[in-house]
Amino acid sequence: MSTQSSLAGQRILVTGAATGIGRACVEALAGRGARVWAGHQAGQEPLMDELIRSMAAQGGTVLAVEADVADAASVDAMFASIAKDGPLYGLVNNAGVILEKPFLQTDERDWRQVMSVDLDGVYRCCRIALQGMAAQGGGSIVNVTSDLGFLGREEYVAYCAAKAGVIGLTRALAREFAPHIPINGVAPGPIETAMVSPANMSAEWIAREVAIPAGRLGQPAEVAAAVCFLLSSEASFFTGQILGPNGGSWMGG
């Protein structure tokens, strides 16, 4: 396996690591020699076991930790478990949910469900991670947001609002913790995952998403590459930045 010296041996937590972009981040980071803690929800143990075995066969180190980022006590317990292994260098806030529903049908429960994971979960993880990073004098955080946090989209109001909040949170924290702790984000465009795929989405949705300049859905590994860069020493002059692996979606079709 190739090893990137600035990440080799570093302890990095990735939330929402069982599938999609999160799994791709775990694979890419472990492939660069990091010691990766993979956060997952209850019931995803078989996926995590398979991921751990797969990476071990390639010489990578992945450790699983269960947590629900929507629950403060669960997040506390996750970080306490990781702390027993040693100081945390990096955090990738990837856990998220998406809701497609017209705004006038989006009730308080829907709204809170999305916010509690997509925005509050990022706040909770950043708050605990930054306490340790500040005490040790360094670290790095990458928050996974979305191009819809910039663009907006009808019938995705809660999701767009939460992801826009993550962008604001990222930039504000970057100012507060500079210069010693870089805090950046990635805002993917349409990425093909189990949740977002031709098998699960309508033909109309797919047609709209691939109408971007790149003419296709992105792949999780393409987002993971941006995450790895931002966590590495090569990105030492990046903070408060939101990279956009989006196939040109910000430019329109």
Kindly list the domain boundaries of the chain, sorted by start residue: 11-245
| Region 145-152 average pLDDT | 94
Please tell me the predicted confidence (pLDDT) of residue 14.
Answer: 98
pLDDT of residue 28: 98
Q: Which helix (H) or strand (E) holds 66?
A: strand 61-66
Distance CA 65, CA 60 (A): 16
Closest to 15 in 3D by CA, of 87, 124, 98, 91: 91
Using the structure block, give the residue that is written with the tokens 């143990």: 45
CA–CA separation, 88 and 109 (whole Å) = 34
Q: How do beta strands 61-66 and 35-40 pair?
A: parallel
Which element (helix H / strand E) includes 78? helix 72-83
201 has a pLDDT exceeding 60: yes
pLDDT on residue 3: 37
Better-scored residue on pLDDT, 216 or 163: 163
pLDDT computed for residue 6 by the predictor: 87
Q: Report yes or no: 41 and 66 within 8 Å, Cβ to Cβ.
A: yes
CB 187 within 8 A of CB 167: yes
Across residues 191-202, what is the average pLDDT?
Answer: 72
Sign of torsion, CA 122 70 79 33?
Answer: negative
Catalytic status, residue 89:
no
Residue 5 has pLDDT above 60, yes or no: no
* DSSP sequence for 164-203: HHHHHHHHHHHHHHTTTS-EEEE---SB--SSSSTTTS-H
Distance of CA 169 to the CA centre of its chain: 14
Helix axes 120-136, 108-118, angle to 10 degrees: 20
Helix segments in 32-107, DSSP class H: 45-57, 72-83
pLDDT at 249 over 60: yes
Fold of the domain spanning 11-245: Rossmann fold (3.40.50)
Quote the CA–CA distance of 65 and 141 in Å, as a whole number. 18
Q: Annotated catalytic residue: which of 89, 123, 156, 159?
A: 159
Q: What is the pLDDT of residue 210?
A: 77
pLDDT digits 0-9 by tens, 220-243: 999 999 999 999 999 999 999 999
What pLDDT score does 1 carry?
A: 42
CA distance 103 to 90: 36
pLDDT bracket for residue 2 (50, 70, 90) = very low
| Residue bearing tokens 């040109």 | 248
> Tokens for 34?
């990091």
Angstrom distance (rounded) from CA 161 to CA 103: 12
Does 206 have pLDDT greater than 80?
no
Q: What is the C-alpha separation between 188 and 31, in angstroms, rounded?
A: 21
Are 82 and 37 contacting, i.e. CB atoms less than 8 angstroms apart?
yes
Q: What is the DSSP letter of 69?
A: T
The model's pTM is 0.93
Q: 3-class DSSP state for residue 88? A: coil
Instruction: Please give the pLDDT value at position 192.
Output: 87
How does pLDDT run across 77-134, given as a tens digit for each residue? 999 999 999 999 999 999 999 998 999 999 999 999 999 999 999 999 999 999 999 9
Name the more confident of 253 and 199.
Answer: 199
CB atoms within 10 A of CB 18: 22
pLDDT surpassing 50 at residue 4 = no
For the chain, the average pLDDT equals 93
